[in-house]
Structure 1
Amino acid sequence: MSGWDGWFAAQRSAREHAGVQRVLRPRPATEAVIDLAGNDYLGLGAHPGVRRAAADAALEWGAGAGASRLVTGTTELHAELERELAEFTGREAALVFSTGYHANLSAVTALADKHSLVVSDAHAHASLIDAARLSRAAIEVVPHNDVAAVRAALASAGDRRAIVLTESIFSVLGDAAPLPELAAVCAEHDALLLVDEAHGLGVVGAGGRGSVHAHGLARHPQVVVTATLSKSFGAMGGAVLGSAALIDHLTNRARPFIFDTGLAPAPTAGALDALRRLRGRPELPGAIHRRGGELADRLGVPRSAGAVLSVPMPSPRVAVAAQAAALAAGVRVGCFRPPSVPDGVSRLRITARAGIGEDRWATAVAVLSRVVDDHREGS
């Protein structure tokens, strides 16, 4: 056994002892399990029309984009999607990426450098954390949703360009950021506010236009929006939305955009079709909030500002056991354990979904009520 083999074995043993070892579990294309772990909040990823649009695009344009966006990887589909995303969210322009992770990496690293200050919420997504580190900027992590701490951090920026990083709806707790207050503080200090709408777009605001739009900040000159196309739109990819000047800057300076192959035609067309269907059915996000509220009340946990419901468990092992019990009863839920949770508390992560029939939803609520009650006091 090499030194590396021994190191790998020791690392795995430590993870298993702590109850945080992860494994990949392939799923079939169709199954009877009720999926409340995935992020297809509106059920559009499974919609026959969205699937057909993706399949047709692959047949017409090919399996991949064929090159980076700045070479030959930009198709007419990309241009349509960017135009309609910007219009839908009330932004001036948009730029589509191969993943939401790349969108965050691009936005932060192209806007901040070693002469900048990045102020990051303690619960920011891993992609924002990695982006801040790669930017080489000075980083100040502030307590979760603490506007006063953000103000104090910006007051110390001096002549450095400053960027504040937050999520509109946080991916672990499902709570909302105080966007109007943060935008006001950023305006006071001439800082940018970057809002990751991964869990807000398609879920929050009129017709699912997102939290930034709902708070009247869509045209705010110092607000930058990032988003993913893999949740409410049921496809894959990401986007940055803002001014035309911002998009021009990213096109020319964002390394994860410049050196990455463009988003493939199939998910580009799938996301575009999903967006158009959402525009035609603005009532869909309301179903998420009704169902999420019902389940939160049954489980005795706070209601979510979005689709993500967070159920604390006594330990990582109990969380895994509760997840397994739910699956055995026909309901799949997520399981967040350290180091994926910002406060170290293991949780079941449940997503309220609009694309599930009423009978199956009622079954899921009954199963989860029983499972959580059985495991909440476990050790």
Structure 2
Amino acid sequence: MIEKLKVKPTNRYRNNAKAIGIGNTFWDNSEHHGLAGIVADLQRGRLYTQEGHSFVNFSCCSYLDLDSHIQVIEGAITALRKFGVLDHCIPRTRVQIPALLELEASLSELFEAQVVSAISASVATSGILPLIASGHLTDDERPLMIFDKNCHVSMQQVKPICADETEIVTCSHHDLDFIEDQCKLYERVCYICDGSDSLGGYAPVKELTQLQECYGLYIYYDDSHSISAYGKRGVGYVRSHIDCLNDHTIITATLNKAFGASGAAILLGDRSRETLRIIERFAGAISYSQPMNIAAIGACLASADIHRTKELHTLQYKLQSKIALFDSLVPTAQAGSTFPIRLVPAADSEVITLGKLLFEAGYYVSPVFFPIVARGTAGLRVMMRTGQTDDDIRGLAQVIINNRLLSEVAK
């Protein structure tokens, strides 16, 4: 009998066996202790499980609580009634309802950029990065693509696809010297990173812009965590630090988190009609029969209107007051930042137990562990929102202090 060959993976750009083998233990442990797979109803700012346990959510990305804003909800309902369909399932390259063009025009004016929509930031990234790799968005020349080591999984998972089109390397977190060295070696270079990352930090936009000016560096930012929560009219951290969005910069941002609706916006500089057609026709799922549905479009239009009013500034100010209050009570490495996420370090062996203690006290704070973060850097990710009361934050801080979660910080 002929012995059959076994496949030998290269694992050059991803390793599911390693990530799942290690990470799934933590997920199983989280679920076992009631910290994952929770089912709860939202009532007046608190969540209630079927067993009657109530808690405040400190792991929600809706930083301004616009997802429950009556104007956003009514916007979704109004759009459904106006257009009479939820999801007109056909590629936009063939037929599109005018609501989508209305939304993109509104977002383009709001963000001072040329905006293309998508159903999610992950879909946008999976469609745009391969077009960068093939040179279709970088002056018809394939660039060396530098992925930041800490960039979000939605970008990391596109590496194998991009590697079929061009050369791929990974650099240490915001390693400006490495990026500059590659710019000196390669005619075209594109750096892929988070503009605002999920563990509480901003990209060095000023320094990266200088590399653009000196070497023509292309940059792809995912700024999902700062859109709406940061900047005039909620344009986000990256857009706030770029005077004019050029054709060497692309910013992708979800419209789910602080924006409070659904979908994603791809912010471009002044791109030609031909380039926009390439994106619409060949950018992965963007070109499939999955445009944003009408309820999402209506919610986004309503949220965009709020962004043009003083109310947005009021919400941003309120969020900053919540962040400052937490910083005054619990020291973390992120203290003093405008970013609404704080990471309270904990040992890998203790982070689930500590998360359970907080949950039992009425506060849900998600434990983060490998592969969400590097091994040995586990912690509790605290996320502030405008809807949390000062008493909520003080109560959480007291439980953290009482359970000595600051031992690692003190070291």
When normalised by structure 1's length, the TM-score is 0.87
Identity %: 18
- Give the equivalent residue in structure 1 for 2:378: 346
What's the counterpart of residue 134 of structure 2? 113
Aligned residue in 1 for 2:6: none
Does 2:38 align with 1:25?
A: yes
User: Cα deviation per residue 1:292-327 (whole Å; 9 max; x = unaligned)?
Assistant: 122123111122342222221112x42222222222
CA distance in 1, matches of 2:216, 2:323: 37
Corresponding residue for 1:5?
Answer: none
Q: Which runs of 5+ in 1 are unaligned?
A: 1-9
Change (3 A) 1:65 1:344: farther
- Does the 8 A contact of 2:400 with 2:406 survive in 1? no
Bigger drift between 16-25 and 362-371 goes to 16-25
* Separation in 1, partners of 2:18, 2:250: 39
Q: Distance in 2 between matches of 1:19 and 1:374?
A: 21
Select between 57-66 and 123-132 the one with higher mean Cα deviation.
57-66
Give 1:282's aligned residue: 312
What does 1:74-85 correspond to in 2, within 5 Å?
74-85=96-107
Deviation at 1:378, TM superposition (A): 7.8
Residues 310-366 of structure 1, C-alpha deviations (whole Å, 9 max, x = no match): 221112x4222222222222222222111111465112112111233xxx3322332
Say if 2:86 is the partner of 1:63: yes
Based on CA coordinates, which of the two structures has the bigger radius of gyration? 2
Match of 1:124 among 151, 165, 172: 151
Aligned residues: 361
CA RMSD of aligned residues (A): 2.6
- Within 5 A, what are the aligned runs for 1:330-345? 330-342=362-374, 344-345=376-377
Q: Evaluate the alpha carbon distance shift between residue 279 and residue 323 of structure 1 in structure 2; reply closer, same or farther with a 3 A threshold.
A: farther
Distance 1:133 1:155, change over 3 A: farther
Aligned-pair CA distance for 1:371: 2.6
* Partner of residue 178, structure 1: 204
- In structure 2, distance between residues paired with 1:369 and 1:121: 36
- Do the aligned partners of residues 327 and 216 (structure 1) sit closer, same or farther apart at CA in structure 2, a change above 3 Å counting? same
Q: Which residue identity lines up with residue 291 of structure 1 in the other structure?
A: K
Q: CA deviation at 1:254?
A: 0.8
Work out the CA distance in 2 between the residues paired with 1:212 and 1:17.
34
Give the superposition deviation at 1:193. 1.0
Using the TM superposition, give the Cα deviation of residue 17 of structure 1 relative to its aligned residue in structure 2, in angstroms: 8.6
Specify whether residues 348 and 232 from structure 1 end up closer, same or farther in structure 2 by C-alpha distance, changes over 3 A only. same
Shift of the alpha carbon at 1:100?
A: 0.9
Unaligned runs of 5+ in 2: 1-16, 48-53, 136-141
- Matches of 2:308 and 2:359, distance apart in 1: 34
**TM-score w.r.t. length of structure 2:** 0.80
Partners in 1 of 2:282 and 2:40 — Cα distance?
Answer: 39
Alignment map for 1:1-379 (pairs within 5 Å): 18-21=25-28, 23-30=36-43, 31=47, 32-59=54-81, 60-72=83-95, 74-91=96-113, 93-113=114-134, 115-136=142-163, 137-157=166-186, 159=187, 161-172=188-199, 174-242=200-268, 243-245=270-272, 246-280=275-309, 281-283=311-313, 284-301=315-332, 302-303=334-335, 304-315=337-348, 317-342=349-374, 344-356=376-388, 360-376=389-405
